[in-house]
């Protein structure tokens, strides 16, 4: 299986001289099974350069898994070049939105409104199909089994476990470890803590023994208190997940858009100093745009 990172920044694309090493595009991850089946997780701005490489292997069947509908995870979809070429298939997977009452099809329909994009969906030449997923209900994509899991973010958000030929990847999407919204001593604290504990255990089970864990590591521990409730994790929470789940490799991603490459490496260096690797620990890495990991 191959994992290639096409976008590793969070919230907004951040191109420029200070993000050259790790990249400025927002979330997009290409996964290839051993049978060369194409799975794409999220369609941030990184999906545009990915789509350019696909022109060398037309016709393309692209199975795109959307973690959630925030802009930085979907804004590249209208620029996915195979959509404009006959013979290609885009199969878009994602969650039902209880607020809008619509499935994953709204991700395209909203962006392709006349006011925001010059090409209508009906004008695109490729075939586009929509698959609305349910939590913990697996679907088959070629030889890969894909299972969505509800994560913790201020919108319906799926993490994805992908398993094929005995290999596995888990991507958290945007995720903040569940926390109790009540203070100790409040009337609802104990009951809500039960929910938090069950949710945390469910997420950890979903990650269990993966070869590759790709986790939202937006903040440092020092930054987190000011961002609590925003729906993002820290380097420390990602390391904890990786160790407790028994992951072989952890890729920290969704890099804070205001953090330069130098600052990112310094933050990671400090975290590694606080959490030196012990025998049997995962390999800890910063996700880097353009990097391919094969296992």
Tokens 């992951």 map to which residue? Answer: 247
The whole-number pLDDT of residue 171 equals: 98
Sorted by where each begins, the domain ranges of the chain are 2-294
Convert the pLDDT of each residue in 82-110 to its tens digit.
Answer: 999 999 999 999 999 998 899 999 999 99
190: Cβ contacts below 8 Å, ≥ 6 apart: none
The whole-number pLDDT of residue 213 equals: 98
CA distance linking residue 148 with residue 168, whole number of Å: 13
Cβ-contact 101, 73 below 8 angstroms:
no
This prediction has a pTM of 0.96
Is pLDDT at 38 greater than 90 in this prediction? Answer: yes
CATH number, domain 2-294, options 3.60.15.10, 3.50.50.60, 3.40.50.2000, 3.40.640.10: 3.60.15.10
DSSP category for residue 81: G
Cβ-contact 235, 268 below 8 angstroms:
yes
Convert the pLDDT of each residue in 40-62 to its tens digit.
Answer: 999 999 999 999 999 999 999 99
The whole-number pLDDT of residue 99 equals: 87
The CA-based dihedral angle spanning residues 174, 7, 42, 111, taken in that order and rounded to the nearest 10 degrees: 100
* CB atoms near residue 95 (< 10 Å): 22
pLDDT category, 63, cuts 50, 70, 90?
A: very high
Residues of the chain with pLDDT > 90, as a percent, come to: 97
The whole-number pLDDT of residue 169 equals: 98
Mean of pLDDT over the chain? 97
Convert the pLDDT of each residue in 138-181 to its tens digit.
Answer: 999 999 999 999 999 999 999 999 999 999 999 999 999 999 99
- In the structure encoding, which two tokens stand for residue 252, read together? 């920290």
Tokens 């398993």 map to which residue? Answer: 163
The whole-number pLDDT of residue 286 equals: 98
Handedness of CA 257, 263, 269, 273 (dihedral sign): negative
Handedness of CA 251, 137, 197, 210 (dihedral sign): negative
Convert the pLDDT of each residue in 197-211 to its tens digit.
Answer: 999 999 999 999 999
């Amino acid at each position: 299986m191959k994992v290639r990172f096409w976008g590793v920044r969070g919230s907004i694309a951040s191109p420029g001289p200070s993000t050259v090493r790790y990249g400025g595009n927002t979330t997009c991850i290409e996964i290839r099974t051993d049978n060369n089946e194409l799975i794409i997780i999220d369609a941030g701005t990184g999906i545009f350069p990915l789509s350019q490489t696909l022109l060398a292997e037309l016709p393309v069947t692209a199975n795109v898994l959307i973690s959630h509908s925030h802009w930085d995870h979907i804004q590249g979809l209208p620029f996915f070049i195979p959509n404009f070429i006959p013979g290609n298939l885009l199969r878009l997977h994602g969650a039902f939105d209880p607020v809008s009452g619509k499935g994953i099809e709204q991700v395209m329909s909203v962006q392709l409104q006349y006011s925001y994009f010059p090409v209508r969906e009906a004008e695109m030449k490729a075939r586009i199909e929509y698959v609305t997923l349910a939590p913990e209900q697996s679907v088959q994509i070629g030889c890969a089994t894909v299972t969505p899991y509800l994560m913790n973010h201020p919108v319906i958000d799926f993490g994805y476990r992908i398993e094929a030929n005995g290999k596995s990847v888990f991507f958290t999407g945007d995720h903040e470890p569940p926390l109790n919204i009540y203070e100790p001593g409040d009337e609802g604290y104990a009951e809500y803590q039960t929910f938090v504990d069950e949710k945390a255990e469910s997420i950890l089970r979903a990650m269990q023994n993966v070869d590759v864990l790709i986790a939202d590591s937006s903040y440092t521990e020092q930054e987190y208190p000011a961002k609590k409730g925003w729906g993002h994790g820290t380097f420390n929470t990602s390391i904890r997940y990786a160790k407790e789940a028994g992951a072989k490799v952890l890729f920290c991603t969704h890099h804070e858009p205001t953090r330069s490459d130098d600052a990112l490496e310094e933050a990671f260096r400090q975290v590694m100093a606080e959490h030196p690797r012990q025998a049997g620990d995962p390999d800890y890495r910063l996700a880097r745009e353009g990097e391919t990991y094969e296992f």
